[in-house]
Amino acid sequence: MGLLYDLQGKYKTVSIVGMAKNAGKTTALNYLIEEAMDEGLRLGITSIGRDGETQDLVTGTEKPRIYLDEDTIVTVPTQLYELADAGLEILKKTKYSTPMGTLLICRVADSGYVQIAGPPAAMDTKRVCEEMFGYGCEMILIDGAIDRKSIASPETSEAIILSTGAVLSRSMRKVVDETAHIVNLYSIPEMEEGEARTLIEENNFDDKIMLVDKNGNVKKLDLATGLGASRFIDDEIDEDTEYVYIPGAFTNSVIADINPKKLKRVRFILKNPTKIFLSVMDYGLWKKKGMKLSVLKNIEIAAITVNPWAPSGYTFDREALVEAMKEAIPGMPIIDVRV
């Protein structure tokens, strides 16, 4: 039994997220599809963006194609339906529009290669998955073809498989460190249940920065974004402030000008870890300064796939890469999908 068998017992929807282009995301998808074919598991396949074409439309590099077995349920827009080598039976014409036409839910009637795509919005992806389960899927894999960060949103799937590899850097140490950093970010603890969390959840409908004090008072700041707004946030933090909710991107510019004493006293609350845009070094420095973070919803990483090959031609020793990952991220399934 392989990785997919282990995942099936825990999750119904799993996203595959690449840390960069050519990190092996499509190879990981094909790896799981082949396991499903071997084990007789009926999969559903959908995507954010487009995947399965023979050449990356941005970089021009060759890409692995996606081969689907009979009875797989897949989402395909009308323009890509005509390009499929596989025989596709249209089950439903959905209400979702894509740049390549109306999205169709299809059953693979005859095995073959398919270019897949799905709705561009995360919430629409969730709704499409619900429809696909109605056609008999036992598990759905969501391919993160374009937006490799938002597809990791916990609103989209129950867990992710993170694809990483040599394309990130010529330094194996840097590849391992950056991957471990993402795993650490996605493991940030969720905010505990209580009055403060309830206040944030009830008042975050307009995506405004919000301060909650120890007396249960909520103050919203009239800021469209926290980027570059640290001085304004600092002005609003007083001795009673306990939480600062940041709905958007969390970067150095959000906290750079906050008084060190205030920084240590308050806790920053984010929607989920995909909002954090701090490097390994910066994140470590802010933690040393006393920065505290929680999220309303974190992200479960079910496994990591590694690709020791980079398109520019250099490679890592696969065993050394896998072992380095296991040492840096203990307890996490690490798989070289190119073996």
Domain boundaries in the chain? 3-186+299-336, 195-295
| 57-61 LR contacts (CB < 8 Å, sep 24+) | 58/21, 59/21, 59/22, 59/311, 61/22, 61/311
Work out the end-to-end distance of the chain between its first and last CA atoms, rounded to an integer number of angstroms. 16
pLDDT at position 148, please? 44
Q: What are the tens digits of pLDDT across the range 209-227? A: 999 999 999 999 988 788 8
Q: What is the per-residue pLDDT for 63?
A: 66
pTM summary value: 0.86
CA proximity to 254, closest of 281, 272, 232: 232
Give the ranges where 45-121 is alpha helix by DSSP (H): 78-81
Contact 154, 299 (CB under 8 A): yes
pLDDT computed for residue 132 by the predictor: 97
Q: Identify the CATH number of the domain defined by range 3-186+299-336.
A: 3.40.50.300
* pLDDT score recorded for residue 56: 52
Res 57: pLDDT: 47
Q: Give the mean pLDDT of the chain.
A: 89
What pLDDT score was predicted for residue 274? 86
Sequence-distant (6+) residues with CB within 8 A of 170 are: 310, 314
pLDDT value of position 62: 58
Task: Note the pLDDT of residue 3.
Answer: 80
Residues of the chain with confidence (pLDDT) below 50: 51-55, 57-59, 145-148, 150-151
Reported as half-sphere exposure (CB side, CA atoms, 13 A), residue 192 has a value of 3
pLDDT for position 133: 97
The predicted pLDDT at position 151 comes to 46
pLDDT at res. 8 = 81
> Cβ distance 133 to 7 under 8 Å?
no
User: What is the dihedral sign for C-alpha 133, 136, 139, 145?
Assistant: negative
CB 169 within 8 A of CB 23: no
Q: What is the DSSP string of 236-262?
A: H--TTEEEEEE-S-B-HHHHTTS-HHH
Per-residue pLDDT at 252: 95
